[in-house]
């Protein structure tokens, strides 16, 4: 395994992070434990969850993922050997109103952390993240920002940081991060932390893959110059970058067959780009999954690559990507495809 350091800390994290959002829905508790056992044995010391997991989110399953992690901690005694990340939902949406509707207030942040600690059977979370912005902006597959003057959101960056600071002082969380955030929001958080001597955002968890390199715009410069590490999610684009869908070998229990509404990475252009990337991988004696993950692993702004799998063979292949280095010739071929079909899945 290869390791990096959580920005602005001395915490060593594996460059592969174990994503968990299928546990409690597509995966049983036993399967979640098996994945954690294997990943831990391979040197993965970084796990990521969220209060709303598993996905798709609904009232019946909410929190199951973290409970599965909690029972593993209790069984193995490995809590102090794992860097644990979790998230709080932003302003209510159609898939999170069953959790809360109050937004990111001091009270809701405290309540969310306390409940998550109970589920996880621990007394601290190493990295606590805002799952998505509360303001209306272009998240979750929306290509461009279009201002909505009817948005009732009021600037609360300072309030959020003060609330998180309170929780850091209690010892319940150690470091903080963002998710699905944009350049403006990132810089606003940094501005508030600098001016008011509040905790500083350490990481940003955004989508990043061969077919979604939007992060390489303004966010890459912010990340590198401000030392905000990317935790890349969906590096396999919901399994599209395994090649199984274009090859017609995806099982009935595959993510997009179970949940066809998750079509963020399934456009005609995404499919064409995926076909071209598959040829590059096969011409260079790699699987598309290995090449896709190795590409993410090599980025200079990356802190950790969040991989997730519903099956053990997928998990093993994904973790093994850490041992692959793409040479300049392969990177040139990848960038040639990107030049023709840039970011088909924003």
Model pLDDT, residue 92: 66
Token pair, residue 240, equals: 């599209």
CB count within 10 Å of CB 42 equals 17
pTM of the model: 0.95
Cβ atoms 53, 21 nearer than 8 A: yes
For residue 80, give the DSSP letter. Answer: G
| HSE of 289, CA atoms in CB hemisphere, 13 A | 19
Model pLDDT, residue 36: 98
Q: Which CATH number fits domain 3-239+296-324: 3.30.70.2970, 3.90.190.20, 1.10.10.60, 3.20.20.100?
A: 3.20.20.100
Q: Which residues carry out catalysis?
A: 53
CA distance 158 to 240: 39
Cβ-based burial of 244 (10 A; exposed 0-12, middle 13-18, buried ≥19): middle
**pLDDT, tens digit, 9 for 90 and up, residues 242-262:** 988 887 776 776 666 666 666
Model pLDDT, residue 255: 64
Cβ atoms 152, 92 nearer than 8 A: no
CA distance 219 to 181: 9
Q: Which residues pair with 204 in a beta bridge?
A: 178, 230
Model pLDDT, residue 141: 81
| Ranges in the chain, pLDDT < 50 | none
What are the boundaries of each domain within the chain? 3-239+296-324
């Amino acid at each position: 395994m290869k390791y990096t350091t959580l920005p602005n800390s001395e915490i060593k994290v594996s460059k592969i992070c174990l994503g968990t959002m299928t546990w409690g829905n597509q995966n049983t508790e036993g399967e979640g434990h098996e994945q954690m056992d294997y990943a831990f044995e391979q040197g993965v010391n970084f796990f990521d969850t969220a209060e709303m997991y598993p996905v798709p989110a609904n009232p019946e399953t909410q929190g199951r993922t973290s409970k599965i992690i909690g029972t593993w901690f209790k069984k193995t005694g490995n809590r102090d050997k794992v860097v644990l990340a979790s998230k709080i939902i932003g302003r209510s949406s159609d898939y999170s109103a069953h959790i809360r509707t109050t937004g990111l207030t001091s009270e809701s942040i405290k309540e969310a952390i306390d409940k998550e600690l109970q589920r996880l059977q621990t007394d601290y979370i190493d990295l606590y993240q805002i799952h998505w912005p509360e303001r209306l902006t272009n998240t979750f597959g929306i290509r461009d920002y279009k201002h909505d003057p009817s948005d009732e959101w009021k600037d609360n960056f300072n309030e959020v940081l003060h609330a998180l600071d309170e929780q850091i002082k209690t010892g319940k969380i150690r470091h903080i991060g963002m998710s699905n955030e944009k350049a403006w929001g990132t810089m606003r958080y940094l501005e508030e932390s600098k001016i008011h001597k509040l905790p500083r955002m350490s990481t940003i968890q955004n989508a990043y893959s061969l077919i979604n390199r939007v992060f390489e715009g303004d966010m890459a410069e912010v990340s590198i110059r401000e030392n905000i590490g990317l935790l890349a999610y969906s590096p396999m684009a919901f399994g599209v970058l395994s090649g199984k869908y274009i090859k017609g070998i995806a099982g009935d229990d595959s993510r997009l067959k179970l949940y066809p509404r998750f079509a963020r990475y399934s456009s005609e252009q995404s499919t064409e780009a995926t076909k071209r990337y598959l040829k590059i991988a096969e011409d260079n004696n790699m699987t598309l999954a290995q090449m896709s993950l190795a590409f993410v692993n090599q980025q200079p702004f990356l802190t950790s690559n969040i991989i997730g799998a519903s099956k053990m063979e997928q998990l093993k292949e994904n973790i093994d990507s850490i041992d692959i280095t793409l040479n300049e010739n392969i990177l040139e071929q990848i960038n040639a495809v990107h030049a023709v079909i840039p970011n088909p899945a924003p």
